[in-house]
Amino acid sequence: MDIVQDQTAAATVPGASTPAPAGEPAARVVTRDVSVFYGQKQALFDVSIDIPDRSVTSFIGPSGCGKSTFLRCINRMNDTIDGCRVSGIVELDGEDINRPDLDVVELRARVGMVFQKPNPFPKSIYQNVAYGPRIHGMTRNKAELDEIVVTSLKRAGLFEEVKDRLDQPGTGLSGGQQQRLCIARAIATRPEVLLMDEPCSALDPIATAIIEELIDELRENFTIVIVTHSMQQAARVSQKTAFFHLGKLIETGDTEQIFTNPRHEKTQDYITGRFG
């Protein structure tokens, strides 16, 4: 099977982060030949991709193709899974994130993650957002922490709805609000990259629209990677799209091109609903 990729991922030498072509935003995350094994079973095969700065990249593909696995490579969440082994190179701003001496806690502050199911801590709304900045020692006093909590909630588009009950449990919010709370929590540590694994799959269309609007705003300041099963969502929110199939990256390209004229037949079959 030939792998069709656009110039942004056309690097040949592993580990060499090539400068982005003119007009393209610089690559923030660069991976080369990333393979992942769960015990004996290989789940990802030589994935090389450049994820551009300050834009949204979506990962699409059939269930089990390795989207979540690959997403977890970007903040070393696979470390937490028993028997999971990652090979290849993952660079954040040119820095190898798999270096043994790298501080994983710090890495996860730089690369935030939002999951499919909203998972607020069983604490107050305030504490949920304050948690990250606090453990990373990002603030010197309560006033600064308050400031971060408020800004993060505002950015996540939740502040107006919760400003009078910041001390109430985050778990008492609606699903869509909980998801925005998790986003507020993820951006409170001012990450460079925000990973979102099916962030809207448990939400209704209105809550989804609010999150999508939010993603579009966050893109000004963050590099966002979103895994989604909704083709329409990928088409709506992302500038780049990567299609995975059976653990391989089949095609990456501008979202518009992928959804109007994909180069690879497998991509075409998948997005038009012809996958056998």
Helix axes 175-188, 125-135, angle to 10 degrees: 20
267 near ligand ATP, rule: CB under 6 A: no
178 near ligand ATP, rule: CB under 6 A: no
Confirm if 187 and 195 have CB atoms less than 8 A apart: no
Question: If contact means CB under 5 to 8 A according to the sort of partner, which of Mg ion, other proteins, ligand ATP, none does residue 274 touch?
Answer: other proteins
Contacts of 172 (CB under 8 A, 6+ apart): none
Site mask for other proteins (CB under 8 A), range 205-244, x = bound: --------------------------xx--x---------
Provide the 3-class DSSP secondary structure of residue 157: coil
Residues 12-51 that bind ligand ATP (CB under 6 A): 38, 43
Phi, then psi, of 198 in degrees rounded to 5 = 45, 60
Among 5, 17, 48, 68, binds Mg ion (CB under 5 A): 68
C-beta closer to ligand ATP: residue 12 or 40: 40
C-beta closer to ligand ATP: residue 37 or 121: 37
* Region near other proteins per CB under 8 A, out of 83-91, 127-135, 211-219, 259-267: 259-267
Contacts of 43 (CB under 8 A, 6+ apart): 36, 37, 66, 69, 247
- Least gap, CB of 232 to other proteins (angstroms): 5
Residues 88-117 that bind ligand ATP (CB under 6 A): none
User: How far is it, in rounded angstroms, from Cα 27 to Cα 157?
Assistant: 27
Residues 71-130 that bind other proteins (CB under 8 A): none
65 near ligand ATP, rule: CB under 6 A: yes
User: How far is it, in rounded angstroms, from Cα 22 to Cα 242?
Assistant: 21
Q: Which amino acid does the sequence have at 72? A: R
